[in-house]
Every structure is written in C-alpha cells, then in structure tokens.
Structure 1
C-alpha cells in the first residue's frame, strides 16, 4: 500500500474517531450539557488525538528506520570479496542492486526465472522495460535485488498493519475513557501546547544545526590555516589544489571580501533608505486611502522579484548604461571617451541592490509610523503645528527606534545578497575605495569555492565554511543590535 493512501486512511480514521467521540459524549448526558466538564467537541478531539498521533509517530519512525535496516541487511549478504571493497564501491554496487530490484518488479515470472538463470540477459531485458543499469549485473546482485524486494514488501505490509492497529486501538482506548466529568479539554490543550512548543523549537534547532554544520568544517580549516591569517589577511588568492590534496598553498585573507561586502551594502543602503523612508512617510501621512491601497502593494511587488532577475537587470541595463554615460561625461570634459565606470562595479551592484531593498525599508517603516497613536498627531495639529512639522517633530522621533531597527535588519539582508553581486560587481577580490571599480563579497566567494568537484579535505574548499560562519556571525550581531535598539528606546503607548 502506498504511503499516501495509508495517510488518507489514517485521516479517515481520525475523522471517524472525532465524530464517534462527539456522539458518544452527547449520548452520555443527553440534553444536559452542563453535566459535562468539557464540550462534546473536546471529547471528539481527544479521541482523534489518540487515533492519529501515535499512529503517525510510528509511521514516521518506520519510514526513517526501515530503509537503514533493509540496506544494512542486504549489504551484509554481499560476498566477502565485495564487502572488502571501499565504501564508495559498495555504495555503487548497492545502487545497481536497487536499479535491478525496480526492474525485477516489471518482469513476468518466466522472464524473472530466465534472468536469474542467466544474469547476462538481464541488462537488455531490463532496458526493454525502461530500466537502465550502469553495468553487467553479477549473480549476487540478482539475489540481493530479490532479497531487497522481499524485505521491502514485508516492511510495507508490516507498516500498514502496525499503523492501522495502533490507530484503531488508540481510538478504542480513548472512547472507553469518555465520561461526563472527564477533563477532555485539558488533555487536548496539553497536546496543542506541546505542538506549539515543538513548532517554536524548530527554528531554534534549525539554527543550531546550521551553526554546528558550518562550525565543524570551519574548525578543520583553521587547523590548516592560522586564524589570524584568515581574519587579518589582505590578499585573497586560494589557488585551488588538486583533488585529495591538503596543500594549504595560497592566501585566504578575509579583509578584501569583507570590505567589498560592507562597501556594496553601504551603497545599497544609500539608495534604499532615503527612497524607502520617504515613500513610507508619504503613504502613512499624506497619501489618500485610495492611492495607498494601490501604491503599497505595487511597491511591495519589488520584494517578490527573484534576485537573479535583478542581477540580469544590472548586467544588461544598469551596468552598460553607467559605463556609456561615464564615457560621454569623460568625452565632454576631456575629449577622451574612455569610460571611468566599469559595467561591473560597486556602484552598479549597490544601486540595483538598493532598488531591491526599497520595499523592505518602506514596508517596515510604514508599519512603524502608522503604529504611532493618532492622538499624538491630533495633539500636535491642535497646537497649531503644520502637517510637515508634526511629521518632523512628533511622528519621526516617536517612530525612530523602530525605523533604526528596520534599517539594521535591511542591512543584514543586503550583506547576505549573492546573485546581484555575482552579475553586477564581479568576482575580483580587491581592496580599494573607488566605487566605479569591481569588488566582490563574502557570499560570492562561498559560491565559487563550493563550485565544481568537491573534496572537503583541502583548505581551498573548507574556507567556504569559515566564510559562512563569519557572515552568519555578522548578520546575527546586526539583528541582535537592531532588537536591542528597538526594545531600549521604544516608547510604550496606551
């Protein structure tokens, strides 16, 4: 039975359990609902929980553990000389066994008997059935494939039986516990609370997992390259080594990448903050409701455009435009039409990234400004202040902590951008201040170091994890500082 069908049956059992539990609770007290501690719906939910949750947990556990048990059992039955091979070769052999097993399911009993007697005929036979295998199957592979199919079928049947028995048994157990004074609501709310705690813990556990996965590889890198050379080095020249080599030749200076990241992010914020903040002030304080209902969604559409599209826009439109206009300006001034702005430059990437960040600044600032109580506006206007004076002297000071927090969060978004920088700023790791020349960022080098055939034994590859953990620390500090600013200076309004 397919797992999807089993989940559908489990959902039907849960629905039936809810209805039967509700009906049983109503039947116990008749029309006197006041005799019950909990409403009938809570009793039905209690039965549903016992029918679905234990069975779903066993199903998930079975789906996770069963493949490992079957794989280890099949590989343990390989001949001695095959088990003596490397792990990679054994994995390759098991992959062929899996392909053969899928093909055997499509053969008739006569074809299967013939193929088992002569494995050399199996490859063209499986090819005619639409199953391709990489090499000629060995006799032990056919036997292992047959064992794999048998164990998989037995596991599937056992899973279905166990899940259905647990679901029905749980429903029966819960039905027997229904009574007029039974605290069904308390039990259901405990389950809901546990689900909420689990959901809120997922983000924390995911963050911890990301940090640990990067940290373990970064520690290996720092065992090969001293930390001070990485954090304080001014030259980036990794010099890729051959596959399997642990040669640490090259220079892994972080400073050029960090400078490019901050420089491009700074240019982007110079574009995004004024435009986004002024648009938020206009929509919150001056725009009519009709105009706001149209302009705000249109502005926020920019946030939904994929960053690769912004990268193409920078590469094909903004970069060439700035290059050509710089050539015209230089020609009018000196007679030499040489361009002084490169198509791939800091200003190109920063300008396009700033456009992308406008809706972040605008939307967050608009929500913060509109949260300022209307009584403050009315009081200022009642004292004779104009609308512009009210905005400058009352609204913005009151909303400033939130706006600063929004800007810092937007800055952390700018620091983590990749695709726009790849296409608009180039990949040259340079330490310079000219905004018209190419630079690169930490994220671009993470991508380049992890592109191609990967061997996680050389510092040339492991440096990507050191860059990743550094970028994570920078963005985390920005977000924490933004929250600190908001909480410390936020005014409390009734």
Structure 2
C-alpha cells in the first residue's frame, strides 16, 4: 500500500506537469498538490477499509466458530468469552508450531485431539495451555486458523485492488485545469472532522455500552433496592444486597475531605504565585508544585497506607499509646486517610487552574484599584478574586469530579467496607473500588453481582457529568468579558 501511494504520487505529479509541457505556471495548483491528491486517494480509502476489516472479521469468525462448540461446554463456569479465549490460544499455538517447524500446515489442519496430546505438542514450542485441549476446542481452533488466513488473503486482495483503483482514478484526473489544491484541502478537512468526531463517538459508545449492561442488571435486580437500599453485600450465590447508597456515601465523604484539604491550600498557593511571588520564586515554585500532579496514584495509595494511616493511628488510636489517649481509630485504613492523601494529590490541580484564571484578570483592574488607594491585599480580595471567582468555582468542581473518580488511593487508604457512618476514622469504600472488585477475575457477565458494576459506572458517569456541566455553566454565565 505504501509503495502504491508513493507511485501514485509521482505518476500523478508527472502527468500533471506533462499536460502543460513541464511549465508549472500553467497548472491550477502547485505540482505537489497533484501528488498529494493521488496519495490521499490511494492511502485513505485503503487504510479505512483495512481498519474496518480488522474490526469486523474477528466478530464474524467468532460467530461462525462458536457453533462448533457444544452447548454443554458453555455453562456457568465457562462463558462464551472464556471458551473463545481457549480457541484463540490453541490457534496461536498451532501458528507458533508451524513457524518453528514442529508442525506442517497440513499436520496442524488434521491434528486430532483424541489421538494426540495437543497440550504437550504445543508446550514443546513454548506455548503453555492451562488444561487438556478438548476435541471441540481443537476443531474450532483449526477452523479459526483457516478462516483467519482466508480472511487475511481476501483483505489483502480487496485493499490492494481499492488502492490500485484510487491510483488509476487520481492519475486520470491529473491535468492542468484540475483543482488539486482545493480537493486536497477538502480531504484534509474531512480527516480533521473525522478525528474530532472520534472523541464524541467514543463517549457515545462508552455510555451506550454501560447503558445496555445496566438495563440487563435492572432486569435481574430491582432498581428500588439499588437506589434506595441500605446495605451492600454481594455474594455471587443469589439474594445479594446491592445498594449504591453506602458506596455513594463513602465516595462523597472522601471527596469532601479531599476538597477541604486541596481547595484552601491550592487556592492560597495560586494567589501567592500570581500576586505576591517574584518572577524567580514563581519560576521555581510552580514547577515544583505541579510535580505532585505527575506522581502515579498508586504511589499516593502506598503513601496513604504506609505513612499517613499509621500517623493517624498514633494520634487517634491504640488507647493510652496514642497521643490523645483515645481509641477511635482501629486501623490505618479510614476515610480521613484517603481524604487527606487525595487532597494532596488535588492541590496542583486546583492551584494550576486557579493560577491561570487569576492571571487572566486584566492588569488594568489592579492598576485602577491601586489608583483609588487600595492596598495590595484589598485589591486581591475585592477586585481580583471576585473577577476570577467563576473560573475558580469551575476549577473546584472539576477537582471534585477528579476526586470522585479516584480509585487506587481509596483502595489502599480507605478500606473496603461499605457502610454509612459519619465517623471519618472508620474504613469505608467508594463506587470505583467496588467496580474494580466486582469485575476482578474470570467473571461471567450473566449475574447481577457482575452486571452491577455497569450500573455503578453509569451512576458515577452521570454524577461527574453533572459536575462538569455545572462547572461550565457557572464559568460561562458569570465570567467577566474583558477587552
């Protein structure tokens, strides 16, 4: 495809020049535009068809191969995805055996699981399987290989034929009066629109996938218990209590503590850096402060578990051994532990956004305030902050969305107990932690205990989306317009 793209570029460019006897001044566009048009007409449709083919072919092959698996093998312990995973592993093992010369193509196609130890044969070439290969799985793997190879051959033929057709059309259209520049610019504009649409389509796909799985969950579990129940106790054996309220309480409680830590420190840091710090101090302090944003959240989680948690236990726990002589905190995992560490993580988020917003306030407002006799602190309090307030509120709400979606800090710092309690020294859990827990391991996506993760994810998505929309509304409605 790349060779045909290059050939099309030079053929189209050469023909365009040939039609005007080599005088580029008589062309409508620069010579390279004719080559670029040919390259686009060759490569773009072929690449799009290749991507579409690679997406659709595995699904079609799976639908055809799964019919070879007896219905008895697809039980509660072996879902369709697990069986197909075994099929693909065996097919990959056969390909590896052929590549290493342990099997010929004919032997791989006629291998019989009832007569040959397929697991041992594949282990000889470095492909380890967890268990013996059932005859239906081997038959499905052989069919999978054959259909994949046939599909790849047809893809190569069709894609190259399309590329060749594009090259012939481009070369035929190349002449002095052809508006190559206009066509190239329209083509680039179309590609930019497609790229911009991918983010929107991805968001729509995520929402729809969660929505459909959530609908399956609510067919198995009453929505009243999910939204208005009081306990969370999944057991994967039926009769589970799956209420979101304890998880929602833990999520909002930890996020509130995090914001109580991050907002004052981050906002004061932004005010100092933008209004009081010298250029040298700002150049040094701002990057050092934003280093916190680059630390992985798992490191924050370890910091919460190994440092902040034991520190709080020494203050509020262990009876007479504690600094306060009380026994309020029994372990290092607690709401306060996760909230404090999450607040530290959010400090650069709040400070960076607030700093940019405060710096956007025109200097003329400060100068006018100074001219009226106001001090520096009065100018900051009565002029700068009110002008920047909508943007600061929007930054705080965006930080809240970030806190609500955090996982690793909560897993290591807050514990895994779902409860509704006002005590910040007790262990609790959040929605994101339970999503991870419910989807960990080989799950069957056919029980309410697994599908509840999608209902939790959809609820969390709606919650964070609402905060983001509220932030945008506040910023747009109350922001000041300056010239």
Give distance in 2, aligned partners of 1:426 and 1:207: 31
Give distance in 2, aligned partners of 1:376 and 1:74: 71
The answer to whether the 8 Å contact 1:265/1:414 transfers is: yes
The answer to whether the 8 Å contact 1:265/1:411 transfers is: yes
Equivalent position SS for 1:491: coil
Superposition pairs for residues 60-79 of structure 1, below 5 Å?
Answer: 60-68=51-59
Partner of 1:162: 158
> Residues 382, 15 of structure 1: CA spacing in aligned structure 2 closer, same or farther, 3 A cutoff?
farther
Partner of 2:403: 414
Superposition pairs for residues 1-400 of structure 1, below 5 Å?
Answer: 10-25=1-16, 28-29=19-20, 35-68=26-59, 86-87=73-74, 88=80, 91=84, 92=86, 96=90, 99-107=93-101, 120=115, 123=118, 124-132=120-128, 134-135=131-132, 141=138, 145=142, 152-233=148-229, 235-242=230-237, 247=238, 249-327=239-317, 336=325, 338=327, 340=329, 342-400=331-389
What is the Cα deviation at residue 132 of structure 1?
4.6
Identify unmatched segments of 5+ residues in structure 1: 1-9
Deviates more, 1:446-455 or 1:105-114: 105-114
Q: CA RMSD in A?
A: 3.4
> Residues 131, 348 of structure 1: CA spacing in aligned structure 2 closer, same or farther, 3 A cutoff?
closer
Give distance in 2, aligned partners of 1:408 and 1:163: 49
What is the Cα deviation at residue 214 of structure 1?
1.7
> Residues 292, 171 of structure 1: CA spacing in aligned structure 2 closer, same or farther, 3 A cutoff?
farther
What is the Cα deviation at residue 356 of structure 1?
0.3
What is the Cα deviation at residue 39 of structure 1?
3.2
The alignment covers a number of residue pairs equal to 473
> Residues 273, 24 of structure 1: CA spacing in aligned structure 2 closer, same or farther, 3 A cutoff?
farther
> Residues 339, 240 of structure 1: CA spacing in aligned structure 2 closer, same or farther, 3 A cutoff?
closer
Identify unmatched segments of 5+ residues in structure 2: 75-79
> Residues 181, 293 of structure 1: CA spacing in aligned structure 2 closer, same or farther, 3 A cutoff?
farther
Q: Normalising to structure 2: TM-score of the pair?
A: 0.85
What is the Cα deviation at residue 275 of structure 1?
1.0
The answer to whether the 8 Å contact 2:314/2:322 transfers is: no
The answer to whether the 8 Å contact 1:122/1:137 transfers is: no
What is the Cα deviation at residue 178 of structure 1?
2.1
> Residues 140, 241 of structure 1: CA spacing in aligned structure 2 closer, same or farther, 3 A cutoff?
closer
